[in-house]
């Protein structure tokens, strides 16, 4: 049974309130419900209007998709500091329209050389509780990769018509002049204020004098962040990996007032960006390319799609039988993800097995019409609105899908004193243990110089060799499911990108079946799933997809920034 009588009563009230709220939102904020943009030359979709505008400016100055994405990232660092920035890492996919090649750059954070498999265990050998202990302070901070990643992307892909240094300018302007705190940002600060209060610098910048969240409408200036960007402009990327900013990061981590960590100057100095093979998939006549390990995004997405290929999903419609099959396919793919995925430089990842038709066939055979496959590995912690994604197509047809993160909302919660940016807590993407003594460690156990397993799923889709879709989303392990829902909505149910992003999601990460609010409140859907054996829970928020769909015939772009967030898709 999923719900008690009292809970049921509360649910009925919530249901009425939800219906009322939807009506109010629909009638009074129709603009917010229509985020799709059309354009013929270029399109940008990011999680914040100021980042989208900065990217468009760079495109109009002669920069390409890579240049525009770099400028957008620095703006996001200023206006969405809870999600991404130079204190974090990411995966950068670039499609070169001339050569028709896709390049996948890995700028994932790395564990310090002093990291160990037991680093997240307390004195009794038990993992620190996830929130707030494990995710806060110096211990979960990995060596940041974003700055070196974007320097590499610039060297490899830029037109060089706009200097690397100039790409910081829009962000410097915003950090110096300030921007208006939105209600979403204010809510996010509020949700993390206990963590932010632990660190005087985070408290000074992001809380008011009484230690409360900044109010919506507050004009936030970040002179320290502007100074940091100016230092990088003047002295290059090395100022961050070898110079005074490196010193400040090491100091902040090693002398953190909560869970000091193990980062050293050497760790920063030796940080390297890696080029990886993408993960390729094929579904309903479309070709997909996403990020491979250390991300689990590509393999899990493709395995779930391969399982779904065994069903006539379109004929099912979006009813409860489809939801049952869809949830089970995800669960099976997540079971393999949780068992096999990790850093490919440290563990052998059975890629060809995971992507094989043989595996898909045997997984599909496990799915029964009226019962569920048992859960194998515990579900990941609930997602938040963390991480960010940038999708861009430029006037030459080059494309970028860049998912970027500092992990949890506000990462480690530590701003580097004097430099105005948050350090990530990416090492919490490792399995915390404990691991059985003398056993071979699982692929995603923490270890020196290892990259924690990610779920980021930056994606390109092609139809008969022509670009069709650029997409990505935040949301921790729900990223994979957000992208899977999007693809099935477009490729099976023929929805346009806008409708596909909006549709409430169905999710299973090897746990209960999670329904997004609007679906959860459909009593018939819930009871039909429960009758098939599902435990059904509500998940109010996941995803903030940034999507560009390309019409193969007209060449027109449709850009969509998920209305669950506050982003903007815009082109020209
Ligand atoms: N920290 C989000 C991810 O890498 O999946």
Does 387 sit in the ligand 1 pocket, CB within 6 Å? yes
Per residue in 506-552, pLDDT tens?
Answer: 999 999 999 999 999 999 999 999 999 999 999 886 789 999 999 99
Q: How far is the CA of 552 from the centre of ligand 1 (A)?
A: 32
Question: Among the options 146, 387, 403, 482, which is catalytic?
Answer: 387
Going by alpha carbons, the residue nearest to atom 4 of ligand 1 is: 454
Length in residues, the chain: 572
Helix 357-366 / helix 297-308 crossing angle, nearest 10 deg: 60
CATH of 5-39+276-383+455-571, one of 1.10.10.10, 3.60.20.40, 3.40.50.261, 3.30.450.20: 3.60.20.40
As given in the structure block, the two tokens for residue 463 are 């139809």
Strand order in the sheet with 37-39: 37-39, 557-561, 546-550, 466-471, 459-463, 286-291, 278-283
What is the pLDDT averaged over residues 376-386? 72
With beta carbons less than 8 A apart as the criterion, state whether 228 and 234 touch: no
- pLDDT-based confidence at residue 33 (cuts at 50, 70, 90): very low
51 touches 388 (CB < 8 A): no
Taking the model in full, what pTM does it have? Answer: 0.94
Q: Decide if 252 contacts 138 (C-beta within 8 A).
A: yes
Residue corresponding to tokens 């009593």 = 523
> Is 30's pLDDT higher than 60?
no
For residue 31, name the pLDDT band (cuts at 50, 70, 90). Answer: very low
Ligand 1 binding pocket includes 429 (Cβ within 6 Å): yes
Domain ranges of the chain: 5-39+276-383+455-571, 79-273+416-429
The Cα–Cα gap between 401 and 399 comes to 7
- Dihedral-angle region of residue 543 (phi above 0 means left; psi in -120 to 50 means alpha; beta otherwise): left
Which tokens hold the place of 551?
A: 């019409």
- Structure confidence by residue, pLDDT tens digits, 248-292: 999 999 999 999 999 999 999 999 999 999 999 999 999 999 999
Alpha carbon distance 516, 383 (integer Å): 12
Specify burial of residue 151 (Cβ count, 10 A radius: 0-12, 13-18, 19+). Answer: buried
pLDDT score at 216:
98
Strand ranges in 5-77 using DSSP code E only, listed in sequence order: 37-39, 43-46
Beta bridge partners of 282: 287
Each residue's pLDDT tens digit, 322-361: 999 999 999 999 999 999 999 999 999 999 999 999 999 9
Residue closest via CA to ligand 1's atom 3 equals 454
* Closest C-alpha to 279, from 565, 533, 535, 483: 483
| Ligand 1 site, residue 106, Cβ cutoff 6 A | no
| pLDDT (tens digit per residue) in 123-160 | 999 999 999 999 999 999 999 999 999 999 999 999 99
Q: pLDDT at position 383, please?
A: 61
CB burial of 331-342 (b: ≥16 within 10 Å; e: otherwise) equals bbbbbbbbbbbb
Please name the residue whose Cα sits nearest to atom 1 of ligand 1: 407
pLDDT at 539: 86
CB 134 within 8 A of CB 411: no
Segment 175-203 shows an average pLDDT of 97
Distance 407 CA to ligand 1 centre (A): 6
517 in active site: no
Give the per-residue pLDDT at 4: 34
Per-residue pLDDT at 23 exceeds 50: no
Are 137 and 256 a contacting pair, CB within 8 Å? Answer: yes
């Amino acid at each position: 049974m999923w719900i008690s009588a009292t809970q049921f009563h509360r649910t009925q009230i919530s249901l009425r309130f939800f219906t009322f709220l939807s009506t109010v939102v629909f009638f009074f904020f129709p603009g917010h419900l229509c985020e799709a943009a059309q354009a013929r030359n270029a399109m940008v979709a990011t999680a914040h209007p100021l980042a989208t505008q900065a990217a468009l400016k760079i495109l109009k100055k002669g920069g390409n998709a890579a240049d525009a994405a770099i400028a957008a990232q620095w703006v996001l660092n200023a206006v969405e500091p809870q999600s991404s920035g130079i204190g974090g890492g990411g995966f950068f996919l670039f499609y070169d329209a001339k050569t028709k090649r896709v390049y996948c750059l890995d700028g994932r954070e790395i564990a310090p050389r002093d990291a160990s498999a037991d680093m997240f265990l307390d004195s009794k050998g038990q993992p620190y509780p996830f929130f707030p202990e494990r995710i806060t302070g110096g211990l979960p901070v990995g060596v940041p990769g974003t700055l070196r990643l974007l320097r590499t992307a610039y060297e490899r892909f830029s037109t060089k018509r706009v200097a690397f240094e100039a790409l910081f300018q829009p962000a410097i302007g915003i950090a110096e002049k300030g921007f208006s705190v939105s209600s979403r940002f204010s809510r996010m600060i509020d949700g993390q204020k206990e963590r932010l209060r632990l660190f005087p610098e985070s408290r000074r910048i992001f809380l008011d004098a009484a230690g409360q969240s900044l109010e919506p409408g507050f004009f936030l200036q970040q002179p320290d962040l502007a100074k940091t960007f100016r230092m990088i402009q003047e002295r290059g990327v090395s100022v961050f990996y070898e110079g005074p900013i490196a010193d400040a990061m090491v100091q902040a981590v090693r002398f953190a007032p909560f869970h000091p960590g193990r980062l050293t100057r050497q760790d920063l100095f030796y940080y390297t960006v890696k080029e990886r093979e993408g993960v390729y998939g094929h579904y309903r006549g479309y070709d997909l390319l996403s990020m491979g390990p250390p991300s689990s995004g590509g393999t899990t997405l493709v395995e779930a799609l391969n399982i779904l290929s065994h069903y006539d999903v379109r004929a099912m419609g979006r009813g409860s039988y489809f939801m049952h099959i869809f949830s089970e396919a995800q669960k099976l793919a997540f079971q393999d993800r949780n068992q096999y995925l990790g850093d490919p430089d440290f563990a052998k990842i059975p890629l060809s097995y995971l992507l094989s038709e043989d595996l898909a066939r045997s997984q599909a055979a496990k799915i029964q019409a009226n019962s569920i496959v048992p859960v194998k590995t515990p579900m990941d912690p609930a997602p938040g609105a963390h991480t960010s994604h940038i999708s861009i197509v430029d006037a030459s047809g080059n494309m970028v899908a860049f998912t970027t993160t500092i992990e949890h909302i506000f990462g480690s919660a530590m701003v580097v004193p004097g430099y105005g940016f948050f350090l990530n807590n990416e090492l919490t993407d490792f399995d915390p243990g404990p691991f059985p003594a003398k056993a071979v460690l699982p692929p995603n156990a923490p270890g020196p110089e290892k990259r924690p397993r990610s779920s980021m799923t930056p994606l390109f889709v092609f139809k008969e060799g022509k670009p069709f879709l650029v997409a990505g989303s935040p949301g921790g392990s729900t990223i994979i499911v957000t992208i899977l829902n999007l693809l099935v909505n477009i490729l099976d149910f023929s929805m346009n990108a806008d409708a596909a992003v909006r549709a409430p999601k169905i999710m299973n990460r090897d746990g209960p079946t999670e329904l997004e609010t609007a679906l959860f409140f459909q009593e018939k859907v819930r009871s039909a799933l429960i009758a098939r054996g599902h435990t059904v829970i509500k998940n109010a928020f996941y995803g903030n997809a940034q999507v560009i769909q390309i019409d193969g015939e007209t060449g027109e772009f449709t850009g969509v920034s998920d209305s669950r967030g506050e982003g903007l898709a815009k082109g020209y």
